[in-house]
Amino acid sequence: MLRDVAFLADMGGGSAFEVAGGTVTGTDHLAAGRPNQDAYAFRAEGGALAAVVCDGCGSGARSEVGAALGARLVTEQVLGALRRGGDIESPETWEDVRRGALAPLRAAAIGMGGNLAEVVSTFFLFTVVGLAISGDRACAFSLGDGLIALGDELLRLGPFPRDEPPYLAYGLLDRPPGGEAPRFTVHRAFPSSALRTALLGTDGAIDLLESSSRQIPGGGEVGPLSSLWEDDRYFRNPDAVRRRLALINRSVARPVWKEERMEREAGLLRDDTTVIVVRRAQRARD
């Protein structure tokens, strides 16, 4: 019997996954007075699960708008494609997802008036990293940079030349950078029965990964990424992942009495950091 699970995706046939997520503003953004430009979404329906993290373009003044919309839109388009019987490994399925997510973004961008390219660059540039599970198949996919952990396997996506990842919303432009609208990439496709744990992260999660042996400001060790899927507390409280990220990223001031000054210790995550953690549900948790 499962108890105290914040989000449980029932996949049917006795299979289920626990899902948790959280996001925190990076210290560089805090220092500049900028908002968190990351977002995430996950949903299960009809024996399928889709989970997505999005990172708004740092140079876009309001790209948190696109990231928030994009996380929801891509999640829903993935579920819709799978519900219609789309093959999780087929390029045609992912082209349907891409076009389906672009349609409402296009309507919103046009409805906002003004120069379309300017609207897109200000509001709608974001990366996508995701996981999809349907029936006996699963896959990890992306459009842009970030981090994927499938059990012990780590996939670092990027960096891209000139630190310019591809963005889904380039597909709204008549002349996208590079001359062609970017497409989704399926990095791994595998039997869903083989999936035990997964982590999806925006590129800020690489800071989290590389800080695993460092001390949290104020005390304690960051620890490995695996702690996020091994520790039950992150799945019992829907805010637990965010709280952990916030703890790692807090700023602490300590008095240095002999020198009559305050010593400040900054948080460890410079960029906005967002993660979704997925693990196979354990039925015997009494």
Tokens of residue 187, six digits: 């990095």
Per-residue confidence of the chain (286 residues) as pLDDT tens digits?
344 568 999 999 889 999 999 999 999 999 999 999 999 999 999 999 999 999 999 999 999 999 999 999 999 999 999 999 999 999 999 999 999 999 999 999 999 999 999 999 999 999 999 999 999 999 999 999 999 999 999 999 999 999 899 999 999 999 999 899 999 999 999 999 999 999 999 999 999 999 999 999 988 999 999 999 999 999 999 999 999 999 999 999 877 778 777 888 999 999 999 999 999 997 634 3
Number of H helices, E strands in the chain: 8, 13
Contact 70, 78 (CB under 8 A): no
CB burial readout 68-94, b (16+ within 10 A) else e:
bbbbbbbbbbbbbbbeeebebeeeebb
**Alpha-carbon span 35 to 30, nearest angstrom:** 7
Q: Are 127 and 143 in contact (CB under 8 A)?
A: yes
**Rounded CA separation 142/157 (Å):** 8
Contact 217, 246 (CB under 8 A): no
DSSP 8-state symbol, 216: P
21: nearest Cα among 42, 37, 36, 38: 42
